[in-house]
Amino acid sequence: MENIFFNRNIISTEDFSRSDFDFLLNYAEEIKKNPERFSKSMDGKIMAPLFFEQSTRTSLSFQMAMLQMGGRVLDFDVGGSSLGKGETISDTIRMIKGYKADAVVIRHPSGGSAQLAADILNIPLINAGDGPNQHPTQTMLDLFTVKEIKGKIDGVEVGLVGDLKYGRTVHSLLIALSKYEGCKIYFVSPEVLKVPETFLQILRNKGIQFSEHKLDELQDIVKLVDVLYMTRIQRERFPEGIEGEQQYKEVSEAYCLKPEMLEGVKAGFKIMHPLPKVSEIDVSIDDSNYAYYFEQAANGLHIRKALLYLTTTK
């Protein structure tokens, strides 16, 4: 079968069709089932991870994916880099281009930074999160996880809860869901953190059913959905200074999913969360059958193996 991901950049979920997602998910399923078959797949290849912003899961799972497939990983520590001397992201990317890595994985606090890097590079560029804009590989592992939970993605009813303004995982995910048939999305957020209009317009253009809800409706929405996708308030995206601090304070503890709110949920109901979580899910839920966020995070390994292999191998 033709590898439709070869030499492709992974910048935005808008760039991928449903059949692209299906191809990737099937490949990742194969890798999850038979990891040893892929243990030498990246032999001789080097990944350059450029994380200009903090990360636990994305960074570690990309590194682990590379190592478990026999590849190597360049050591980039933003704290010890020349960024502190004022070097621009463009110059840093030009250096990496000259050093001949096989793939670059970038996380940066500015929206559009991944596209900027891709425009300079001539090797596959993977966006590991560009500011409040997109986090496409998170969405790919989210789709993989929804399929694992429900057996399919078409027709799934999802509640997206929390910081829907700055939460890039939500933005990428809603676009991806719009490529499947019959999905329904319930948005639940504080008034000041609603989904930006530009993303809602994408859903309207595609005829996707969605509705927006206030936080006090969360308990009712929980009962309607197959998957509840919780997110934390993205404190780091609020404006700097006293005004931003005040805005954050007003919403920082606005919602917390409690066990008693889960009474009467649908059969097979699961809670997902891109993590890290802070205080938006009561910790007693972590050990319940409803929590699926650690399995979700683990799925990142298979998806990122598939992405690294497919983008770099003809």
The least distance separating ligand CP from the CB of residue 132, rounded to whole angstroms, comes to: 13
- Spatial separation of the C-alpha atoms in residues 155 and 26, rounded to whole Å: 19
Collapsing DSSP to helix, strand or coil, 250 comes out as helix
Task: Please say which residue, 7 or 56, places its beta carbon nearer to ligand CP.
Answer: 56
- Is residue 196 part of the contact set for ligand CP (CB under 6 A)? no
Contact with ligand CP (CB under 6 A): which of 9, 10, 24, 57?
57
Task: Please say which residue, 3 or 55, places its beta carbon nearer to ligand CP.
Answer: 55
- Spatial separation of the C-alpha atoms in residues 95 and 137, rounded to whole Å: 24
Task: Please say which residue, 58 or 133, places its beta carbon nearer to ligand CP.
Answer: 58
Task: Please say which residue, 130 or 261, places its beta carbon nearer to ligand CP.
Answer: 130
Task: Please say which residue, 12 or 138, places its beta carbon nearer to ligand CP.
Answer: 138
**Three-state SS letters, the chain:** CCCCCCCCCECCHHHCCHHHHHHHHHHHHHHHHCHHHHCCCCCCCEEEEEECCCCCHHHHHHHHHHHHCCCEECCCCHHHCHHHHCCCHHHHHHHHHHHCCCEEEEEECCCCHHHHHHHHCCCCEEEEEECCCECHHHHHHHHHHHHHHHCCCCCCEEEEECCCCCCHHHHHHHHHHCCCCCCEEEEECCHHHCCCHHHHHHHHHHCCEEEEECHHHHHHHHCCCCEEEECCCCHHHCCCCHHHHHHHHHHCCCCCECHHHHCCCCCCCEEECCCCCCCCECHHHCCCCCECHHHHHHHHHHHHHHHHHHHHCC
The least distance separating ligand CP from the CB of residue 194, rounded to whole angstroms, comes to: 21
What b/e string do you get for 270-280 counting C-beta neighbours within 10 Å, with b at 16 or more?
Answer: bbbbbbebeeb
The least distance separating ligand CP from the CB of residue 16, rounded to whole angstroms, comes to: 18
* Piece of the chain touching ligand CP by CB under 6 A; list 114-122, 240-248, 249-257, 269-277: 269-277
Task: Please say which residue, 164 or 275, places its beta carbon nearer to ligand CP.
Answer: 275
Contact with ligand CP (CB under 6 A): which of 13, 138, 231, 311?
138
- By CB under 6 A, the residues from 165 to 194 that bind ligand CP are none
Task: Please say which residue, 56 or 90, places its beta carbon nearer to ligand CP.
Answer: 56
- Is residue 304 part of the contact set for ligand CP (CB under 6 A)? no
Task: Please say which residue, 58 or 178, places its beta carbon nearer to ligand CP.
Answer: 58
The least distance separating ligand CP from the CB of residue 210, rounded to whole angstroms, comes to: 23
* Piece of the chain touching ligand CP by CB under 6 A; list 113-121, 176-184, 262-270, 274-282: 274-282
- Cβ atoms 190, 251 nearer than 8 A: yes
The least distance separating ligand CP from the CB of residue 17, rounded to whole angstroms, comes to: 24
- Is residue 55 part of the contact set for ligand CP (CB under 6 A)? yes
The least distance separating ligand CP from the CB of residue 206, rounded to whole angstroms, comes to: 25
- By CB under 6 A, the residues from 117 to 136 that bind ligand CP are 129, 135
- Is residue 274 part of the contact set for ligand CP (CB under 6 A)? yes
- Is residue 247 part of the contact set for ligand CP (CB under 6 A)? no
State the number of binding residues for ligand CP (CB under 6 A): 11
Which residues here bind ligand CP, judged by CB under 6 A?
A: 55-59, 129, 135, 138, 274-276
